[in-house]
Chains A and B, each alone.
Chain A
């Protein structure tokens, strides 16, 4: 099965309570795309374009109003609780704000071990071993294993979040603006980590971001969203060099960048 994830005609509506009464909001309309195994699709768009809603639907944290999501050939939009529980380990998510997505009272080991505990598969000793291994895999030193996240930097917290997401050996990892809250130098490190993990663990990524430059650097394909629709998608380099849709052009124009031939690496 070459395509790990196939989404067809996904639609999501929900009600929004405003001062003028409730309105129906169409968060996703007719969204269709696919992700091939071991590749990375970047989903870009402005705030409110529906990127996060789409991520939540793919991760089965929200139920779409209509449409189909096929993971590994199986339809996952209408699973019952038992099937959902069996399916969850395969699709995991990393969120934007590492401070708020990690429990501040747990130490690193507990955080990474939590999914294992919930799924109830391994014994205590095995859980701890696996947790330590995961921490090593993401580059967190063993001394920090027993510290709480209060003592971690932003980049370290995000590594922890990634380790936690890897605990159940997922096939698809969804990164919802996972790099956006980090400093530039830290973004580079985490980006490298993601590439390493992709090749060593054979992961497939859905990378949601509004940073086009990082998307261009990391992703194989790019899909551009606006107001709940995908307006353009294709190979990353092509979409960014020769954009078709006006929204893509606008995003490219708006991306802050250093002047083209600006930086000249210099030896001292």
Chain B
């Protein structure tokens, strides 16, 4: 099966004054057509760097040290800017965190969507307007015209998020990368947005990369899950397998500390949640062994000496942990 996106051994670091802090260290994965890949990562795991890197939208102090991002035969990290501009928004779309910051404050919504269309398609003014309305209808079945005329600050968080989705699907991309699309939303709106993703995915046969720190969002939506920790892939495999039978100690610990998994019957004192002791490692001062070692309950001698390589525990499931070899 031809792969839609192939990330090969990506190494990205941020340079500040004299220091180089590694953000992504040897990330390799792929996305097949029509597949939804969930990227599970907390703050500092490198997930936002990954999202930005795919379209080469990293901030000025970021350095792509090594690796390739292959999309439809092109290496997005090395292709020239004109060609990249043609791909951005049209073939791959990115949905940023914080919708209120991702929309221009003083342009109307309709115009912000038309601009995306106009950048990739030569349409007359009339055609642009019509197409904008049609796209808005996909995400706002009720009153798309009113939304088109509004300004971002007049919309609620959920509505702003839908506008970002509309911008993403405008030119019919084959891959959408969504970075924490439901972060600041309440549960009902969250559910609506996720259902919207599902509906659009089926209607337009999209591939999706869904980045989040909340594992519960990925059940039912993602086909596979990639667990990111401190810039490396801890585990990757089919969603049910990874979330039901997590193999990596980090994944396990992370799932353990979610409330709602433990029997709430106990009256009297409430149970304390299991936690992952310690903090995420300081990426500026890595010791050289497994990055989860200091917080791992099953740590061994070997874990300090070098980083584990990925080992297949089943057909499509890989873990980077010495317990399984590597």
Contacts and interface: CB of A to CB of B under 8 A. Distances in A.
Contacts of A154: 43
Contact of A216 (B187, B244, B260, B298): B260
A48 B243 CA distance: 33
Contacts of B243: 258, 262-263
B264 interface: yes
A221 to B, nearest CB: 13
B215 interface: yes
Given A47-B156, A188-B275, A237-B264, A265 B187 contact: no
Interface residues of A, number: 43
B81 interface: no
B275 A189 contact: yes
Interface residues of B, number: 48
B203 interface: no
Contacts, number: 118
A153 B280 CA distance: 10
B323 A47 contact: no
Contacts of B219: 256-259, 262
Contacts of A153: 43-44, 279-280
B258 A188 contact: yes
B216 A263 contact: no
Interface in A231-252: 237, 250-251
Contacts of A237: 264-265
A253 B157 CA distance: 20
B188 A250 contact: yes
A263 B214 CA distance: 15
A167 to B, nearest CB: 24
Closest 4 CB pairs of A and B: A217-B259, A188-B257, A213-B260, A183-B42
Interface of B: 42-44, 154, 156-158, 184-191, 194, 213-217, 219, 243-245, 252-261, 264-265, 269-270, 272-276, 279-280, 298, 323
Given A184-B213, A217-B264, A256-B190, 12 more contacts: A19-B154, A45-B186, A183-B42, A185-B257, A192-B275, A216-B259, A216-B260, A251-B188, A256-B191, A257-B219, A258-B258, A259-B244
